[in-house]
Structure 1
Amino acid sequence: MALQTNVLLLVLAYVLLSVLLLVVIAQLRLPRLVKIGAIVLASGFYIVVFYASQGLLGWSAPVVVPARFQVLWTRVIEPNPSRQQPGAVHLWLEELDDANLPSGVPRSYVLPYSPQLAGRVSAAQAEIENGHPQGGRAQFFGSPSDAALPDGLSVDTSMRAAPPGGDAPSGGLLDPAFLGGQSKSVELVPLPRPELPPKGLP
């Protein structure tokens, strides 16, 4: 589903809720000017919601990264205590299917900053700039996952020894990082070759 379609559906959902509330207000014994004001105010917010949603489209999404992906580009923002900025790791990723082929459109994600994750991402970025495509997979906080990687893909032992990026969010259900799906870090590896189907016999 296209991103613009998602934005339109979000606006339509807001419109539906507003219409339902206006129907309820219309049944109440309120002055006519109050009812007219509520209708005008709700109608104005339809436009506000649409343009506010457009302004969000360029930001990195604080959501869980795909299970398997190709790293297209990265950006590490170092923490700045003087400005009370905790830092962040931005990843531009494209999801891969089981055959290591791109299966979606590129999207931008943001993960909480940690020195370990920043180091791994910077190393992956250097490999990309040297012409060596990089891939990866999501992993939970704690020890790296022992799930099997695609055939022919190995992980450097130094990478396995490194702790995952960041500590688990401690704010519970009210922590924006938790709500955004930041209970995962990423494991970065050289991009595996696509698993193409065998060619048919002539």
Structure 2
Amino acid sequence: MSLQSEILGLALAYATLGALLLIAVTRGNLPWRAKAGAIVATSALYVVVFFRLQGLLGWSAYEALPPRFELLWARVVESDIVDNEAGAIYLWVETLDDSNRPSLVPRAYVLPYSAELAKKVKVAKNELMLGHHIEAKPKDFGSGGGQNNPGGAPARTGGGIGGDPSGGFLDTTFLGGGAPSINFAPLPPPILPPKDEP
């Protein structure tokens, strides 16, 4: 079973429980406003559950990358035309703060395969194997240190599977778009707080 089918199965289970709850509420002797509120709240909650299940621990998230992070490891799965597999790029990262200190909470992300990003990731992975720490910033997305989008449009935030989750959960561009460009560089040492004067 794939991750998407697991998410769909769990969401359908929640939707079924929600439907049973709604039947119980509509058969009860409650004011119509309470019934309508329960119906709306339950319906909204199982939609939220569907989209939040992908954040379960252990699964790669189809979410926006942090604006700046340390690359811990990566895996490139190339496209396979014979088996009709689109390919993917998996990143294991830790968000960095302004002082170059990692969050200590590693997170896995998955991006759609692109040849350009795959080359950059392979070079960064080679640096990791040599023991170097790598900093990364999604380019052309929000505060990732990139430049504005072509045509002078303001830079977008994020950098998830389609690069821009700002259109909401049902944004088809976000769900099926191309991989963002990411700039990799050596990670500068952490900025330590100033020492007290004696």
1:182 and 1:196 map into 2 onto residues whose CA distance is: 38
Counterpart of 2:152 in structure 1 is: none
Partner residue of 1:194 out of 173, 190, 195: 190
- 1:145-184 to 2 correspondences below 5 Å: 145-146=146-147, 175=172, 178-179=174-175, 184=180
* Structure 2 CA distance for partners of 1:183 and 1:20, relative to 1, 3 Å: farther
CA distance in 2, matches of 1:123, 1:105: 24
Cα shift at 1:66: 0.4
- What's the counterpart of residue 26 of structure 1? 27
SS at match of 1:194: coil
CA contact (8 A) 1:64 1:184 kept: no
Which amino acid in the other structure matches residue 139 of structure 1? K
Relative to 1, partners in 2 of residues 1:181 and 1:115: Cα closer, same or farther, differing over 3 Å?
A: closer
Q: CA RMSD in A?
A: 3.9
Displacement of 1:55? 11
Moved more, 14-23 or 82-91: 14-23
Q: How does the TM-score come out when normalised to structure 2? A: 0.60
Matched, 1:68 2:68: yes
Which stretches of structure 1, 4 residues or longer, exceed 6 Å deviation after superposition? 166-169, 180-183
Structure 1 partner of 2:103? 103
Q: Percent identity?
A: 46
Instruction: Using structure 1 for the length normalisation, give the TM-score.
Output: 0.59
Report the equivalent of 2:37.
none
Q: Is the 8 A contact 2:76 2:90 kept in 1?
A: yes
Q: CA–CA distance in 2 between the matches of 1:96 and 1:181?
A: 26
Unaligned runs of 5+ in 1: 1-9, 29-48, 148-165
Distance in 2, matches of 1:181 and 1:101, equals: 31
Aligned length: 146
Distance 1:104 1:64, change over 3 A: farther
Indicate the SS of the match to 1:82.
Answer: coil
- Give me the whole-angstrom Cα distance separating, in 2, the residues matched to 1:93 and 1:54: 17
Shift in Å at residue 112 of structure 1? Answer: 1.2
Q: CA deviation at 1:189?
A: 1.1
- Give, in angstroms, the shift of residue 58 of structure 1: 2.3
**Distance across 2 between alignment mates of 1:27 and 1:183:** 50
Q: Secondary structure at the match of 1:101?
A: coil
What residue in structure 2 maps to residue 4 of structure 1? none
Q: Are residues 63 and 74 of structure 1, via their aligned partners in 2, closer, same or farther at CA, if it must alter by over 3 Å?
A: same
Corresponding residue for 1:117? 117
Distance verdict in 2 for CA 1:180–1:196, change over 3 Å: farther
| Shift, 1:19, TM fit | 7.2
In the TM superposition, residue 26 of structure 1 has moved relative to its aligned partner by 2.1
Distance 2:122 2:28 in 1: 60
Compute the displacement of 1:137 (Å): 1.2
